[in-house]
């Protein structure tokens, strides 16, 4: 027997035999409490998305796309499936409830065995600084990939880190044409000492556990001065190469700074010149300077 309240706060009773697929008996006043089938379907699917987000380790976007693909093949219900914007925050919130609440201070943080090992049982936590300001995660297999790669790539992101940390720094290698992350670092600061410490730990790990010395031929990164200086100090024989994506990003930022955003968006000739300017970064030395002069944007040398 189930009790529920109507909008008029009138107590109603629904009787079932727990195995029925139809209503056995309905009390009076039920006609005024018709179920909105579409709203019911929407809420049902949202609940399923929440359940999957909490139980399934796959990315939230992948979970949503998979369920949406299965459900939206039914035309009668496709229009009432929750939109990605409606579901995203709910799914993330449902997922966070799986994990213990973070302590107020970074110094009180502690890591469980589940957080320091992989699903196969391999050690994943490489380094935890005494003051908890640098966390480095990598497996022995990941470090071995660094030793086998002539080209490393460094990248940072800031939007997905816990509130205690400033950035999430990763080291990548190319493997079968794909860029594969192998070292993951959470850091409180993004300065020379932090980057130098990361490279020192990774270098020591490779030397002690694998018996090899890390010496990449090339390192691709953005144009952050502290990172560049740390790379030059840790790997003096390594050739530095700026990231093409970041140089294009910087050019577009300058387009906005000079008030050319509308021209870039609406004027095909301006857009063409800006993209040609981005492409010049592929060339080096005098070829690059000559390309800028040919654009007639400004004089060089």
Long-range interactions of 26-35: CB distance < 8 A, separation 24+: 32/6, 32/8, 33/6, 33/7
pLDDT of residue 36: 67
pLDDT at residue 301 in the model? 35
Give the count of beta carbons closer than 10 Å to the beta carbon of residue 108. 9
* Three-state DSSP state, 116: helix
- Determine the pLDDT at residue 298: 46
pLDDT of residue 280: 79
pLDDT means per 10 residues, the chain with 301 residues, are: 50 54 57 64 85 88 86 64 86 84 80 88 93 94 94 90 90 92 96 97 92 93 94 96 85 90 89 84 69 57 35
Per-residue confidence (pLDDT) for residue 300, from 0 to 100 = 36
Lookup: tokens for 17? 């035999």
- pLDDT score of 172: 97
């Amino acid at each position: 027997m189930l009790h529920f309240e109507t909008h008029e706060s009138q107590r109603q009773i629904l009787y079932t035999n727990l195995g029925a697929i139809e209503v056995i008996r309905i009390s009076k006043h039920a006609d005024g409490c018709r179920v909105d089938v579409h709203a019911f379907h929407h809420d049902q699917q949202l609940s399923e998305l929440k359940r999957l987000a909490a139980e399934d380790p796959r990315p939230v976007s992948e979970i949503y796309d998979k369920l949406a693909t299965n459900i939206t093949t039914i035309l009668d219900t496709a229009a009432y499936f929750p939109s990605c914007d409606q579901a995203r925050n709910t799914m993330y919130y449902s997922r966070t409830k799986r994990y213990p609440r973070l302590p107020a201070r970074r110094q009180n943080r502690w890591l469980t065995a589940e957080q320091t090992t992989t699903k196969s049982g391999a050690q994943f936590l490489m380094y935890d600084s005494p003051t908890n300001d640098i966390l480095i995660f990598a497996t022995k297999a990941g470090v071995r990939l660094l030793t086998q790669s002539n080209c490393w790539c460094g990248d940072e992101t800031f939007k997905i880190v816990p509130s205690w940390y400033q950035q999430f720094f990763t080291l990548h290698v190319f493997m079968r044409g794909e860029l594969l992350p192998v070292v993951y670092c959470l850091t409180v600061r993004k300065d020379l000492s932090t980057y130098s410490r990361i490279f020192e730990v990774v270098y020591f790990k490779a030397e002690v556990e694998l018996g090899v010395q890390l010496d990449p031929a090339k390192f691709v990164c953005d144009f952050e001065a502290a990172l560049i200086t740390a790379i030059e100090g840790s790997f003096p024989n390594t050739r530095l190469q700026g990231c093409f994506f970041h140089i294009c990003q910087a050019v577009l930022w300058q387009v906005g700074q000079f008030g050319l955003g509308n021209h870039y968006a609406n004027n095909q000739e301006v857009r063409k010149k800006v993209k040609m300017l981005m492409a010049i970064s592929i060339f080096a030395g005098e070829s690059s300077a000559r390309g800028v002069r040919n654009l007639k944007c400004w004089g060089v040398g």
